[in-house]
């Protein structure tokens, strides 16, 4: 690589740092223009929004005809699958199944690589406490501990054991950093937070992904302490490369370099390019500020060419590790692509993932599962929508291959049951004729399944909302269907937590299905009619009102904690403090009893281990699965600590009448936190361990962690 670098002109070096967009997809505001000419002249090192074996081969052949013949790397927004679409990341995170999440990432990598791709802009590991922000759909929710575990699983799934494997792709951790906390939940808006909040809540998943070997990192659009991420040397060089030891390469998000002018920290593209390269950015996505400005900046002495050389080496080394210099067409195999795309095995995995992503929020009087012998009316604007089942950011996914709820229900019922369908309204608009048809269908049925929620455009990037209730027309539809008096199950689909306060008061059974992906309709029907039981647990709480946001179960205690008997404590006048459905919540088709928590010792020595456990018994009539969660609290510390923090979970499947002891081992690593100097510390004192079925329903016990000197 050093020999190759030594023979490159300054323009060719800068070309390797230029990421351009093709026209097979539109994911931003700017077109790269004359892509083929720039590739042939060596002015481009990587391309995104171009896929398929034929399209990538054609551009790769042009790159090999350039003076240096350096192969391109092809990237794409493979967020929750490539051709086969899995539940969007927030939904999939609700499976709490790390092995399943890794397998989904592996399957996405296999399809993407067979379609000519080398690099995926995933995982998005931004923690968020605000479902107004549309991009919560792309992340793993509100908890940094679970988010870190999921980040690791996804990196492993994408990159595999060897990047040279033609079925492996490079992972890109995004958006570095803090992108999930914009003011007001408004996408691209300002982020302002303390260093403690960064270290305790937002940084852990990024660092976990990097420790797992992620080769690339994408900068965020926001500023950090007044300096945009793409020009922030403290963030990219001192912290990421210096403190965390990251050795891969850093790419900006779409046109983020030139956007520093809008931030007001750069006056020209040249100024922005200089700030970005000096901060530690290696590759400029689409803005072409690097390509247009860096050569003259180097010639004038404003930028040290050594910075360019270091960035180019990081890019070239990744291309080498991908095997591109040995065989630039290894991922351009049309026969392999035809064999792996939407294969039966991958679709079965997508169905499994969709089943586990759903969260049963409420099931009064065990209305679910449903009998297959009933006459069912499926009502709602999402009932026969394939596209909305896929959700946002579907890459090369095609709705023609997706299964809508109506199709899934018909397949499950077969000849035994009857199902009619009426949309009732559009997603955002009332329709009087459709409403009348829906009421008639309900009156003629034994039971109604209402499918309400967001269309695919209502979540994802640039899709923030100030009102996260169901649209008014859908709530009106729901009221009219309830007035028929027919038993009614509510199925909600969305890319974010919703305010379902009215629905909670009106419906006895609510199943939240997110956006389930290609096999979503089949999976939904299987859960509704009992061929599978829901196992999902929320990774982001549902608020009672948008006025509670941002919101997290990991809140800090205040000097005046909530006390219903005292006016001068932390609370609202018009709402409880608690979420409607808390983090970790999710029901199933069964009933469990948990004993009190026991502990094997009252004291834990420094560097030692203490075990907490309880007995869980299936007191229901069917085999069922429950996920028990371990939360810890440091009761007195040198800095204020959250009222509880997730530190473990275990899934347990029990037959009727079966009981099992579930134990968690607690070590110093579980008790550590950033001290006053923001460095990790474990302090002696009293701790509380909580084991339960959610962050709000648990049994607890206390223990003392001794000082090392004792």
Give the active site residues. Answer: 253
- How many whole angstroms separate alpha carbon 409 and alpha carbon 402? 14
Positive/negative CA dihedral, 652, 649, 146, 135: positive
From residue 673, give the alpha-carbon distance in Å to each of 640, 645, 686.
10, 11, 15
Cβ–Cβ < 8 Å for 424, 381? yes
- How many whole angstroms separate alpha carbon 228 and alpha carbon 231? 5
Structure tokens given for 225: 């302490």
- How many whole angstroms separate alpha carbon 639 and alpha carbon 653? 39
Cβ–Cβ < 8 Å for 149, 208? yes
Cβ–Cβ < 8 Å for 52, 80? no
Positive/negative CA dihedral, 219, 221, 224, 228: positive
- How many whole angstroms separate alpha carbon 517 and alpha carbon 21? 26
* C-beta neighbour count of 642 within 10 angstroms: 19
CA angle (239 as vertex; 237, 244 as ends), nearest 5: 105
From residue 255, give the alpha-carbon distance in Å to each of 262, 276, 457.
11, 12, 22
Residue 351 CA neighbour count, 13 Å, CB half: 22
Beta strands in 571-658 (DSSP E): 592-594, 598-599, 603-604, 609-618, 624-634, 645-654
- How many whole angstroms separate alpha carbon 389 and alpha carbon 69? 43
From residue 66, give the alpha-carbon distance in Å to each of 36, 37, 96, 148, 581.
11, 10, 48, 41, 58
- How many whole angstroms separate alpha carbon 538 and alpha carbon 94? 5
State how beta strands 603-604 and 46-48 pair.
unpaired
CA max distance for the chain = 80
- How many whole angstroms separate alpha carbon 594 and alpha carbon 699? 8
What is the H or E stretch that residue 377 is in?
A: strand 375-379
Query: Could you tell me if residue 186 is left (phi over 0), alpha (psi between -120 and 50 degrees) or otherwise beta?
Result: beta
Q: Hey, is 442 helix, strand or coil?
A: helix
Could you tell me which residues come within 8 angstroms of residue 625 by beta carbon, excluding any fewer than 6 positions away?
A: 533, 535, 588, 590, 651, 652, 653, 654
- How many whole angstroms separate alpha carbon 516 and alpha carbon 361? 16
Exposure class string for 562-589: b at 16+ Cβ within 10 A, else e: eeeeeeeeebeeeeeeebbbbbbbbbbb
């Amino acid at each position: 690589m050093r020999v190759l670098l030594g023979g490159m002109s300054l323009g060719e070096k800068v070309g390797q740092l230029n990421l351009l967009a093709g026209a097979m997809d539109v994911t931003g505001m700017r077109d790269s223009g004359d892509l083929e000419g720039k590739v042939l002249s060596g002015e481009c090192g990587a391309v995104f929004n171009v896929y398929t074996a034929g399209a990538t081969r054609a551009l790769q052949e042009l790159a090999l005809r350039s003076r240096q013949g350096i192969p391109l790397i092809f990237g794409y927004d493979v967020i929750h699958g490539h051709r086969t679409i899995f539940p969007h990341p927030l939904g999939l995170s609700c499976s709490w199944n790390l092995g399943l999440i890794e397998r989904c990432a592996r399957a996405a990598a296999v399809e993407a690589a067979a379609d000519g791709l080398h690099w995926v802009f995933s995982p998005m590991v931004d923690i968020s406490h605000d479902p107004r922000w549309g991009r919560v759909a792309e992340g793993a929710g509100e908890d940094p501990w679970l988010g870190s575990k999921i980040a690791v699983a996804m990196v492993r799934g994408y990159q595999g054991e060897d990047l040279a494997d033609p079925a492996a792709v490079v992972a890109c951790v995004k958006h570095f950093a803090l992108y999930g906390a914009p003011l007001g939940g408004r996408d691209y808006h300002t982020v302002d937070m303390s260093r403690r909040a960064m270290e305790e809540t937002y940084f852990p998943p990024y660092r976990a992904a990097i420790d797992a070997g992620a080769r690339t990192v994408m900068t965020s659009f926001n500023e950090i302490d007044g300096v945009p991420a793409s020009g922030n040397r403290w963030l990219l060089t001192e912290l990421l490369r210096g403190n965390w030891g990251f050795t891969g390469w850093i790419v900006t998000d779409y046109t983020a370099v030139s956007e520093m002018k809008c931030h007001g920290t750069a006056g020209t593209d040249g100024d922005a390019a200089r700030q970005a390269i000096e901060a530690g950015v290696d590759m400029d996505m689409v803005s072409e500020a690097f390509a247009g400005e860096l050569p003259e900046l180097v010639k004038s002495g404003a930028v040290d060419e050594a910075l360019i050389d270091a960035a180019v080496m990081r890019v070239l080394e990744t291309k080498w590790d991908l095997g591109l210099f040995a065989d630039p067409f290894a991922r351009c195999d049309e026969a392999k692509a035809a064999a792996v795309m939407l294969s039966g095995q991958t679709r079965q995995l997508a169905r499994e993932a969709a089943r586990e992503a759903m969260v049963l929020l409420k099931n009064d009087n065990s209305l679910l599962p449903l009998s297959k012998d009933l006459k069912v009316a499926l009502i709602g604007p999402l009932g026969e929508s394939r596209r909305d089942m896929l959700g946002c950011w579907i890459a090369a996914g095609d709705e023609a291959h997706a299964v809508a709820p109506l199709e899934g229900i018909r397949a499950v019922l077969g000849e035994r049951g009857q199902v009619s369908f009426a949309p009732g309204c559009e997603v955002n608009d009332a329709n009087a004729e459709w409403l009348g048809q829906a009421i008639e269908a309900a009156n003629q049925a034994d039971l109604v399944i209402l499918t309400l929620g967001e269309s695919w455009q209502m979540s994802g990037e640039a899709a923030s909302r100030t009102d996260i209730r169901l649209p008014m027309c859908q709530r009106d539809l729901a009221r009219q269907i309830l007035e028929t008096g027919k038993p009614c199950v509510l199925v909600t689909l969305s890319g974010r937590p919703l305010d379902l306060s009215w629905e909670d008061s009106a419906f006895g059974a609510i199943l939240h299905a997110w956006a389930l992906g290609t096999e979503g309709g089949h999976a939904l029907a299987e859960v509704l009619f009992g061929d599978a039981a829901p196992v999902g647990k929320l990774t982001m709480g549902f608020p009672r009102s948008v006025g509670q946001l941002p919101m997290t179960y990991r809140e800090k205690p205040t000097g005046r904690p909530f006390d219903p008997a005292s006016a001068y404590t932390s609370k609202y006048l018009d709402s409880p403090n608690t979420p409607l459905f808390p983090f970790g919540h999710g029901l199933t088709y069964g009933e469990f009893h948990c004993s009190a928590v026991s502990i094997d010792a009252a004291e834990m020595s420094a560097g030692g281990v203490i075990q907490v456990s309880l007995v869980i018994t299936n007191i229901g009539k069917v085999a069922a699965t429950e996920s028990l969660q371990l939360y810890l609290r440091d009761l007195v510390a040198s800095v204020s600590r959250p009222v509880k923090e997730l530190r473990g979970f275990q899934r347990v499947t029990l037959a009727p009448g079966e009981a099992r002891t579930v134990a968690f081992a607690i070590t110093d690593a579980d008790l550590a936190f950033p001290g006053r100097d923001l460095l990790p510390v474990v302090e002696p004192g009293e701790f509380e361990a909580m084991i339960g079925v959610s962050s709000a329903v648990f049994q607890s016990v206390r223990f003392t962690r001794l000082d090392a000197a004792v």
